[in-house]
Structure 1
Amino acid sequence: MTDTVLLERHGSIALLTLNRPERLNALNYATNDLLMTHLDDLERDDGVRALIVTGAGPRAFSAGGDIHEFSRSIADGVDIAVRDFCRRGQAMTARLESYPKPIVAAVNGLAYGGGCEITEAVHLAVAADTALFAKPEINIGIPPTFGGTQRLPRLAGRKRALELLLTGDPFTAQRAFELGLINKVVAQDKVLDSAFELAERILRHSPLAAARILTAVTRGLNTSIAEGLQIEQEQFARMAATADVHEGLNAWIDRRMPDYGNR
């Protein structure tokens, strides 16, 4: 059986490719579970400092959940569908969102449903100018189930998100950029290169500082400003005693590039 998620290492960057091109990289349970396994393994790998997620083939990043598989879970009853489909998908997007290493989505084609929710959850995203996004779950009579009713309004604002959630209409990469869902729109053949370039810009800096920033933003986003500032202070305190802080300060004073190695 072909792996439904491919893993390649490019120096300090890991490339994860959703690999069901014949099904537009639909997220069946095996794909979801294998992605989670790779995320666990890569978190423990100190040689990997950033991740890129993309889709196999020229047509899709991911068309979303595997409806044929999901429909069987629905037929088995509500509790099973919630456990196997909803909780599994929410756990996956929550893992992406709270991951301690930067994750960049390289959206190379359709990003519908769960594919759009992955894009919402990851830290950064680059999309092809030919990519299309959609929140089409309403077309089969359900709300989004991988976090889309929560993350999209936080990114785009309530009314703009509700228009997409309630109509199910597709929208372009340029619109996704305007809504704050992605960081950049590039030509189709430049998507991966652009994602790697963005990741490399992050790798210039301390991986420990990057992890602290990711934690502060993810944890603080849905708290009060006072609670968020406390989280920020805690993340600073975690960094203050590290070798990376001393290296960064010394490099700045010496007018040289810092050398963080694999600290």
Structure 2
Amino acid sequence: MTDLVLVERSDAIVTLILNRPEKLNALNYALIDSLLEILDVVELDDAIRAVILTGAGDKAFSAGGDIHEFSQSVARGPDAALQDFVARGQRLTARLEAFRKPVIAAVNGLAYGGGCEITEAVPLAIASDRAIFAKPEINLGMPPTFGGTQRLPRLAGRKRALELLLTGDAFSPERALELGLVNQMVAHADLLPAAHDLARRILRHSPLAAASILTAVTRGINQSIAEGLLIEGEQFSRMVPTADLREGLDAWITRRAPRYPGNWAAHAAKG
């Protein structure tokens, strides 16, 4: 089962690779379950501080849900389809969206349907110049089911998202960048190095502060500004008694690099 998701470790960064290249890394039920299990392990490993998510092979990040498997659930009726497919896919995207460590999607090729929805859900994403995106669910006579009707309008705006959702047309990585679906586009050969570079720039800082920022943004983005500010204050108050905040303040006052566990700048200073 774990062969469906390959795990590669480089210091404090783990790369998770969707591994069904012969099926364009389509998200069958076993792959989703495997990825969720691995995320549980990664979250509890304090030595891992950032996650890169990409697809195996040269063609696809993920083509989305496994239609052959999904169609069998549909044949069993609405309850089965909701339980097997919709709830499972929404668990995955919600888990990625609320993960308390930075997750960077390295979109290395085709990202359709659920693959696009993963890209929408993760906090950060980089696209190869070979990437191509689409929300093609309407071609199957259905809406997106892993959060695409909700997250894409929040990222791109209602009208621009509806054009993509209602036509099913593919769009380029340049368009994905313009819409706010990805943070940057790079040459294909530079994709994983760019993802690692972004991860390392985050790892210079307090892991607790990073987790607080991720939580505040994820919980607050769909609230009113007043409710969001309460969440922000709550996250700050959780940092006040921590060694990370004391270290950050002391480092700033004494004009030195902070020394957090696994901190890249601290390693460089020691070297």
**TM-score bracket, shorter-length normalisation:** over 0.9
TM-score by length of 2: 0.96
For residues 163-220 of structure 1, give each alpha carbon's deviation from its aligned partner in whole angstroms, at most 9, with x where no partner exists.
Answer: 0000000000000000000000000111111001000000000000000000000000
1:261, CA displacement in angstroms? 1.1
Specify the alignment match of 1:91 in structure 2. 91
Runs of 4+ residues over 2 Å off in structure 1:
none
Match of 2:259 in 1: 259
CA distance in 2, matches of 1:117, 1:43: 21
2:165 corresponds in structure 1 to 165
Q: Write the letter of the residue equivalent to 1:18.
A: L
CA deviations on 1:65-107 (whole Å, 9 max, x unpaired) are: 0000000111111100000000000010000000000000000
Q: Percent identity of the aligned residues?
A: 69
Which structure 2 residues correspond to residues 196-235 of structure 1 after superposition, within 5 A? 196-235=196-235
Structure 2: how far apart are the matches of 1:110 and 1:2? 23
Amino acid across the alignment from 1:56: A
Aligned partners of 1:106 and 1:202: how far apart in 2? 16
Alignment of 1:132-211 (within 5 A): 132-211=132-211
Q: Which runs of 5+ in 2 are unaligned?
A: 264-271
Gaps of 5+ in 1: none
CA RMSD of aligned residues (A): 1.0
**Corresponding residue of 2:25:** 25
Please state how far the C-alpha of 1:254 moved relative to its aligned partner: 1.1
Match of 2:269 in 1: none
SS of aligned partner of 2:3: coil
Structure 1 contact 46–262 (Cα < 8 Å) conserved: no
In structure 1, distance between residues paired with 2:160 and 2:202: 30
**TM-score, length-scaled by structure 1:** 0.99
Q: Structure 2 CA distance, aligned partners of 1:248 and 1:117?
A: 36
Q: Take 1:119 and 1:80, find their aligned partners in 2: how far apart are those partners?
A: 26
Secondary structure at the residue paired with 1:190?
helix
Opposite residue 218 of structure 1, the aligned amino acid is T
* Maintained 8 Å contact 1:104/1:195: yes
For residue 230 of structure 2, what is the amino acid of its counterpart? Q
Which residue is 2:71 aligned to? Answer: 71
Counterpart residue number, 2:243:
243
CA–CA separation in structure 2 for the residues paired with 1:132 and 1:89: 21
Q: Specify the alignment match of 1:116 in structure 2.
A: 116
Per the TM alignment, residue 8 of structure 1 is displaced from its structure 2 partner at its CA by 1.3
- Give how far 1:2 is off: 7.3
Q: How far did residue 253 of structure 1 move? A: 1.1
What is the DSSP-based 3-state SS (H/G/I as helix, E as strand, rest coil) of the residue aligned with 2:17?
strand
Instruction: Give the aligned partner of residue 36 of structure 1.
Output: 36
SS at match of 1:154: helix
Please state whether the residue corresponding to 1:194 is helix, strand or coil: helix
1:131 maps to 131
Secondary structure of the residue aligned to 2:7 is strand
Contact 1:90/1:146, CA 8 A, preserved across alignment: yes
Q: Following the alignment from structure 1 to structure 2, what is the Cα–Cα distance between the partners of residues 223 and 2?
A: 37
- Whole-Å Cα distance in 2 between the matches of residues 159 and 21 of structure 1? 34
Q: Secondary structure at the match of 2:101?
A: coil
Instruction: Show CA shifts across 1:145-169 (max 9, x none).
Output: 0000000000000000000000000
Q: Is the 2:2–2:34 Cα contact (8 Å) retained in structure 1?
A: no
Matches within 5 A, 1:42-57: 42-57=42-57
Distance apart, 1:262 and its partner CA:
5.2
Report the Cα distance in structure 1 between the residues aligned to 2:108 and 2:130, rounded to whole angstroms.
Answer: 8
